[in-house]
Amino acid sequence: MIKKISLFGLLFFVYQFGFSQIIKTELPDTISYWAKENKVGLDISQITFVNWNAGGNNSISGLVKGQFVRTYTKDNINWKNELIMRYGINKQESQEVRKTDDQFLFNSTFGYKKDSISNWYYAGKFSFNTQFANGYAYPNTDLPISKPFAPAYTFLGIGAEYSRKDLNLNIYLSPLTQKTTMVFDQRLADQGAFGVDKAIYDEFGNLIREGKNIRNETGILVTNQWKTEIYKNINFEHRVSLYTDYLNNFGNIDVDWQLQLDMTVNQYVKANIGTHIVYDDDIKSKEEEGGVQVVKGPKIQLKQLLGVGVVYQF
Domain assignment present for residue 27? The answer is: no
Within 10 angstroms of residue 281's Cβ, the number of other Cβ atoms is: 14
- Global confidence as pTM: 0.84
Domain assignment present for residue 157? The answer is: yes
Number of domains in the chain: 1
> What pLDDT is attached to residue 285?
77
Query: Which of the pair, 152 or 57, is modelled with greater confidence?
Result: 152
Average pLDDT over residues 290-297: 70
Per-residue pLDDT reduced to its tens digit, 190-233:
999 999 999 999 998 899 999 999 999 999 999 999 999 999 99
Per-residue pLDDT reduced to its tens digit, 132-143:
999 998 888 888
Domain assignment present for residue 24? The answer is: no
Domain assignment present for residue 28? The answer is: no
Nearest to 70 by CA among 84, 58, 51, 87: 84
Domain assignment present for residue 6? The answer is: no
Domain assignment present for residue 9? The answer is: no
Average pLDDT over residues 45-62: 85
Domain assignment present for residue 31? The answer is: no
Residue 309, domain CATH? 2.40.230
Domain that holds residue 290: 47-313
The answer to whether the bond into 151 is cis (omega within 30° of 0) is yes
Domain assignment present for residue 7? The answer is: no
* Helix residue ranges per DSSP H, 159-277: 186-191
The fraction of the chain above a pLDDT of 90, given in percent, is 70
